[in-house]
Structure 1
């Protein structure tokens, strides 16, 4: 399998790369980022599987980049502006990064000639609201933007899949709606406080990465859509327990 990990310098993407290099079914990892990416510390295994591909920005894919994307079997998209950072930026820039770039990447992947079947896993969050008629109580403009992006990703995949009555879609998409991602003792304590005070769910970094990798590598396709935080915890723990990450 050839896997693209977009936003490869982020902390979730770095864990995805670390686990991918140890995964026996993944033969090639394309680390797509705005600066060169090396194998993360502790990755071990086969670092030769990693190919760093640099883009000026995630909405610009020149021909030499498209050649590196060609033939991919799956892409995990982690590119986004976090809720806290979005408060400090013009909303037009948040929209460009969170939505415009995602859709531009889908167009580039399709035009580059990805494998069939192809899976696109879009990493979002639990607060993203797909129903655009609603007004979320928490960061409504941001939550609606992320939800609208989810809708557009799913619509793109549906429009570019070849229909078949006897097989899963050959161009499919799914959304991973993660809660707060913990990666240390301090972040776990913070997550516990948020869950008790506000009901915000959480998932460990290793779990969310293992879950997403399991979903793009399994022969059966995505288990469900969307993948809620509790699904990511369950699938991730199972994958880690099986020694596949």
Structure 2
């Protein structure tokens, strides 16, 4: 299985890559990021770091022909690329929307079409969203309404794209809550209170 992991330099993606390199059914892990990615340092003894292919994407609005060749034939993609809610206030809204929504849809379409006709099994796409994302665009979320609705609309569009390509693609959405690194007691206490 050839797996693509977007946002490969991030916290969640690093763990996905670490576990994927340890999974014998995954033959290639394509790490998409704006910079070169190396295998995580804490790999289990049976992990195979040679399965990792770092692919630098200079422009996430438009993929180069070289990047398209490197993602061709993928069986699945785990899309972790986003600006988190806590960091979103540090950026202009248009940048947050571009990274969280536009890059997702451009990446999905590019990877799907680069794969077209390569495999008999459907392409699988897992979109990592967030617990507060609101798909119902008529609702007014209490917390970070604009952000929550935008992430919910991205979920809607990912699922609609998969529905339009039924038989050739399957999509799922993961909506994790607060994700913390292991061993940080203060962060765990804060998360418990939240």
TM-score by length of structure 1 reads 0.74
Q: Distance in 1 between matches of 2:105 and 2:159?
A: 11
Show the counterpart of 1:129: 134
Q: Are positions 1:179 and 2:184 aligned together? A: no
Please list every run of 5 or more consecutive structure 2 residues that lacks an aligned counterpart in the other structure.
none
Please list every run of 5 or more consecutive structure 1 residues that lacks an aligned counterpart in the other structure.
163-169, 195-245
Show the counterpart of 1:148: 153
Q: Distance in 1 between matches of 2:59 and 2:142?
A: 32
Q: Distance in 1 between matches of 2:21 and 2:70?
A: 18
Cα offset, 1:128, TM superposition: 0.3
Q: Distance in 1 between matches of 2:165 and 2:122?
A: 11
Cα offset, 1:20, TM superposition: 0.6
Counterparts of 1:1-245 in structure 2 under 5 Å?
1-44=1-44, 45-113=47-115, 115=119, 116-162=121-167, 170-184=168-182, 185-186=184-185, 187-194=187-194
Assess if the C-alpha contact under 8 Å between 1:59 and 1:102 holds in 2: no
Q: Distance in 2 between matches of 1:61 and 1:122?
A: 19
Question: SS at 1:180's partner residue?
Answer: coil
Q: Distance in 2 between matches of 1:22 and 1:60?
A: 31
Show the counterpart of 1:165: none
| Structure 1 segments of 4+ aligned residues over 4 angstroms from their partners | none
Q: Distance in 2 between matches of 1:102 and 1:145?
A: 12
Assess if the C-alpha contact under 8 Å between 1:76 and 1:121 holds in 2: yes
Question: Number of matched residues?
Answer: 187
Cα offset, 1:137, TM superposition: 0.3
Cα offset, 1:62, TM superposition: 0.8
Cα offset, 1:157, TM superposition: 0.9
TM-score by length of structure 2 reads 0.93
Cα offset, 1:107, TM superposition: 1.4
Assess if the C-alpha contact under 8 Å between 1:128 and 1:144 holds in 2: yes
Q: Distance in 1 between matches of 2:30 and 2:61?
A: 17
Question: SS at 2:175's partner residue?
Answer: strand
